[in-house]
Structure 1
């Protein structure tokens, strides 16, 4: 396999890296020793230094060991972005445990499934989520609940005002009584037990994280990511952003840490590089703009919908975003129009990257500075990462320009799926990870994603890739967000339907969009159906959920067929 992309690497980025035999907590300890007084976390104005972060994580680890957690035991962390999430994550790893990242938005059904699948014995959560968490008692292997409160890490004034905020937002008041199986986070970390723990961890083989996939087909599966997998991907990221200086950067942490993208590009990278993390528990446009102006972040990993929302805020011009130098967009395709506009507003660089849960997650991205950026491309493979396009029919590597499935190989690729050997064999073959994404590589070695294998629309015998249609829709000046799916059609088999969110204050007809699209796309690719909405369903990281739209369409079709 010819690695054409290596010719484009700037000299500052090595083709291959050295990977020390360390665990993730080793980096936290080293950063605390070298940059102990530097602020590690800014949470709504409350700050935590790297020394304090390490001491509280170690204290948390001692407490877990006291609860019986040993090497390989699973600890579920169900928290939004906050200091407690970082402390729990690294505290679990310091204790030798395996972190199970759990989405706070899960229903009881989803939570019960994940806890049973992972076999977690401890669940760390927020008081507002406690009723859902304690409902797992007797239904799962969880024996201990560690509960924290938002105000535990708020500045003094905000801590006093928090009850008023809860009242205004009609947030329920939840009482949590400490007991044999229920433990209060603030009581744990106040103990300050910081003596090193002796745990036996093999970074190459031992799993650090069970990261569940989105569950687009059937139940979610847990990717087993080792310490080596996660360290390798974080080191790759550090080398890719080589102009960012250790101990001097500030990273905006809106991407949730329970998603692997935010975990690697914000949390783990910040720990490794001694960068300040500015954490927000959820994405809110106004709060984000105010936070950027207050904290002056230099790095902003995000998702396209975040950048789109900021650009379309009517008060955008009132805020100074000029501190932002580096943005890597992931989790969904980045429309070219959004990239160009965001760079004009901030003066920084916004590039598209690509990855998946099973690869810790990043495998590709465009160059930020000295290398060429190719619009519409996911860029080139990261150091030590190989990639190729293989035929959907034969599995053989295809020529540049030909469409097939993207497969990748590298030290960031997962060990396998937790307790699913058959499904592991389906996606891991001879060391290659079969991504399920359709794309191609050009003559120079740049890669392009056309779409997910399962999202391809086949209409009248033609293959139509939703991303291509969405890119054109985003060029329309009145369109804020767009999603394209295939819907049943009695003549064509499938036809193209577009879901549209217009920019605030705009009006647009189907006829106007149709005329716009027909000027830019072959007739068979042009949507035959349009639906205007106020918002589109999204994941926690802002990725538009096409599968939800597909399910809604199926349900609507069934209802129409069953109606008299």
Structure 2
């Protein structure tokens, strides 16, 4: 009998949390309708000096839906969204959903080549875009199926647009007829194509059904919000990118379900964020590790009221322990880490908010989720014992339908309902999980397995280091050797020799970086995740040339 079948983590659930989630056949449309009815006159969104009640959001969405219908948008059509965080993002996704359409997430930092790939791959015929990004879209439109572009302008400058395209406010007046009611099959109908960031190869569209998203919303609510007391119409910071599934599910959709007032900022700008926190006094703040690293770098963080925020969480990538402890000390708070991936809508594990957090752990599986750690053998995959490292697998109703038009990749990722995450992990006796590293990122140096994250955690303890990425680089003698890329805190200095000497005191010899390169900036994804793959590819290409 496998230890994972026993689910030791269940003993850690709060008494109000059910072991399994009763997933009703609800769609995003049901979420929207029920929430508007419940919180009608409450504030739903705050965007600088503008606020929208739930009733006002409903009114705009009805106009939007009618206008989309008048253009011929029907069930199954794809609608691409290329915006920073704005209220228009919510208006769009809920309107598309009402007509049975599929939202296509497009990173607003994409260049023309990447935009073209997503539009061609998804077959999107409709798109909404920020005015500043409009020229990029028009550069590639003729190579795609795109018919109409809706333009959002946040400034005073007027962009010239082409025929068949619309400014957002003008577009809302197109619809004169009541759109038809569209039946949604939550289990089968796709609500979202969430394109992976491309850090694991060619960007693929993750097919997330209404049931996938509604399940994860309910799981997070049951596990994180239900056990704690939160005020009526609580304010939550919405600075995580909405085009990323973490920001979309854990902020936008969950915030909507809970009747929150989402304080929307287009992007993470350090000074703007701290000033907004001081002014708005939010109840909850979600971020990624690089955001917390940036907050730690603020010399006067203690003066902006972060100690008044009730709930902090972090996801997207591993939080360096040194940075986590620094943030908690400076804000007198408890920061909870979780784990997830686009293919799981995204959250699968989280630290229980009512228990002492285990530093370095991503927590325990959410209700209704199965989780185990395996290793491949000649006889096939087998479960590993407690404490042993292997690949993390998850299974549950929030796991994707598959990759859009990619049967081979789908079959490789999904086996008997289990999602193979590609992440190396271990579980302790209580049922807490720890992410060790990406399976593909493991370095094999002189026959030894070396995990980059372990080395990064050590280097983060160096007083001069702000951020670090460790990769394996080709080595004729060792096969691979360890290289660390670092950038330094403002005003600090450190040489390659200094860093290597520091590492030698805390790491076995085969784990110590042989090379250290100092850079002004390390590559990051749009959500702020440090991009190890980009640096590793640079080193491989360098070795080949």
TM-score bin (small chain): over 0.9
What is the 5 A alignment of 1:4-83?
4-83=8-87
For the structure 1 residues 119 and 517, does the alpha-carbon distance in structure 2 shift closer, same or farther, using more than 3 Å as the test? same
> Which range moves more in the overlay, 546-555 or 104-113?
546-555
Given that 2:119 and 2:145 are in contact with CA atoms closer than 8 Å, whether structure 1 keeps it comes out as yes
> What residue number does 1:124 align with?
128
Report the alpha carbon displacement of residue 483 of structure 1 after superposing the two structures with TM: 0.7
Given that 2:67 and 2:173 are in contact with CA atoms closer than 8 Å, whether structure 1 keeps it comes out as no
Question: Is residue 462 of structure 2 the alignment partner of residue 470 of structure 1?
Answer: no
Question: Is residue 161 of structure 2 the alignment partner of residue 176 of structure 1?
Answer: yes
Query: Residues of 1 paired with 2:525 and 2:485: CA distance?
Result: 17
Query: Residues of 1 paired with 2:322 and 2:177: CA distance?
Result: 50
Question: Is residue 251 of structure 2 the alignment partner of residue 266 of structure 1?
Answer: yes
> What residue number does 1:237 align with?
220
Question: Is residue 118 of structure 2 the alignment partner of residue 135 of structure 1?
Answer: no
> Which range moves more in the overlay, 356-365 or 184-193?
184-193
Given that 2:66 and 2:175 are in contact with CA atoms closer than 8 Å, whether structure 1 keeps it comes out as no
Query: Residues of 2 paired with 1:440 and 1:352: CA distance?
Result: 16
Given that 2:64 and 2:91 are in contact with CA atoms closer than 8 Å, whether structure 1 keeps it comes out as yes
Question: Is residue 191 of structure 2 the alignment partner of residue 208 of structure 1?
Answer: yes
Report the alpha carbon displacement of residue 119 of structure 1 after superposing the two structures with TM: 0.8
Query: Residues of 2 paired with 1:392 and 1:487: CA distance?
Result: 25
> Which range moves more in the overlay, 300-309 or 17-26?
17-26
Question: Is residue 504 of structure 2 the alignment partner of residue 518 of structure 1?
Answer: yes
Given that 2:70 and 2:174 are in contact with CA atoms closer than 8 Å, whether structure 1 keeps it comes out as no
> What residue number does 1:289 align with?
274
Query: Residues of 2 paired with 1:72 and 1:59: CA distance?
Result: 20
Question: Is residue 362 of structure 2 the alignment partner of residue 389 of structure 1?
Answer: no
Query: Residues of 2 paired with 1:283 and 1:464: CA distance?
Result: 33
Query: Residues of 2 paired with 1:349 and 1:217: CA distance?
Result: 32
Query: Residues of 1 paired with 2:330 and 2:49: CA distance?
Result: 25
Report the alpha carbon displacement of residue 61 of structure 1 after superposing the two structures with TM: 1.3
Report the alpha carbon displacement of residue 340 of structure 1 after superposing the two structures with TM: 1.9
Query: Residues of 2 paired with 1:216 and 1:147: CA distance?
Result: 29
For the structure 1 residues 308 and 194, does the alpha-carbon distance in structure 2 shift closer, same or farther, using more than 3 Å as the test? farther
Report the alpha carbon displacement of residue 512 of structure 1 after superposing the two structures with TM: 2.4
> What residue number does 2:421 align with?
435
Report the alpha carbon displacement of residue 191 of structure 1 after superposing the two structures with TM: 6.5
> Which range moves more in the overlay, 233-242 or 184-193?
184-193
Given that 1:230 and 1:264 are in contact with CA atoms closer than 8 Å, whether structure 2 keeps it comes out as yes
Question: Is residue 332 of structure 2 the alignment partner of residue 328 of structure 1?
Answer: no
- Offset from partner CA, 1:60-79 (integer Å, 9 cap, x none): 11111111111111100111
- Offset from partner CA, 1:234-261 (integer Å, 9 cap, x none): 1111122221537432111111111100
Given that 2:150 and 2:171 are in contact with CA atoms closer than 8 Å, whether structure 1 keeps it comes out as no
For the structure 1 residues 194 and 544, does the alpha-carbon distance in structure 2 shift closer, same or farther, using more than 3 Å as the test? farther
> What residue number does 1:540 align with?
526
> Which range moves more in the overlay, 88-97 or 182-191?
182-191
Query: Residues of 1 paired with 2:405 and 2:229: CA distance?
Result: 39
Report the alpha carbon displacement of residue 558 of structure 1 after superposing the two structures with TM: 4.2
Query: Residues of 2 paired with 1:498 and 1:98: CA distance?
Result: 41
> Which range moves more in the overlay, 392-401 or 107-116?
392-401
Query: Residues of 1 paired with 2:414 and 2:62: CA distance?
Result: 36
Question: Is residue 201 of structure 2 the alignment partner of residue 218 of structure 1?
Answer: yes
Matched residue of 1:214: which SS? coil
Query: Residues of 1 paired with 2:275 and 2:173: CA distance?
Result: 32
What is the 5 A alignment of 1:361-440?
361-369=346-354, 371-393=355-377, 394-440=380-426
Query: Residues of 1 paired with 2:242 and 2:89: CA distance?
Result: 8
Query: Residues of 2 paired with 1:513 and 1:51: CA distance?
Result: 57
Report the alpha carbon displacement of residue 192 of structure 1 after superposing the two structures with TM: 8.2
Matched residue of 1:475: which SS? coil
5+ residue gaps in structure 1? 152-161, 164-172, 560-564
- Offset from partner CA, 1:304-348 (integer Å, 9 cap, x none): 000010111223233222232212211110112222222223333
Given that 1:8 and 1:372 are in contact with CA atoms closer than 8 Å, whether structure 2 keeps it comes out as no
Query: Residues of 1 paired with 2:17 and 2:462: CA distance?
Result: 37
Matched residue of 1:138: which SS? helix
Given that 2:206 and 2:342 are in contact with CA atoms closer than 8 Å, whether structure 1 keeps it comes out as yes
> Which range moves more in the overlay, 345-354 or 544-553?
345-354
Query: Residues of 1 paired with 2:148 and 2:208: CA distance?
Result: 24
Query: Residues of 2 paired with 1:317 and 1:349: CA distance?
Result: 15
Query: Residues of 1 paired with 2:23 and 2:217: CA distance?
Result: 11
Query: Residues of 2 paired with 1:230 and 1:244: CA distance?
Result: 24
TM-score (norm 2): 0.95
> What residue number does 2:290 align with?
305
Query: Residues of 2 paired with 1:197 and 1:346: CA distance?
Result: 51
Query: Residues of 2 paired with 1:193 and 1:406: CA distance?
Result: 51
Query: Residues of 1 paired with 2:238 and 2:508: CA distance?
Result: 41
Report the alpha carbon displacement of residue 466 of structure 1 after superposing the two structures with TM: 0.5
> What residue number does 1:553 align with?
539
Query: Residues of 2 paired with 1:139 and 1:196: CA distance?
Result: 31
Query: Residues of 2 paired with 1:319 and 1:372: CA distance?
Result: 26
Choose which of 336, 350, 363 in structure 2 pairs with 1:351.
Answer: 336
Query: Residues of 2 paired with 1:519 and 1:217: CA distance?
Result: 33
TM-score (norm 1): 0.92
Alignment root-mean-square deviation, CA: 1.7
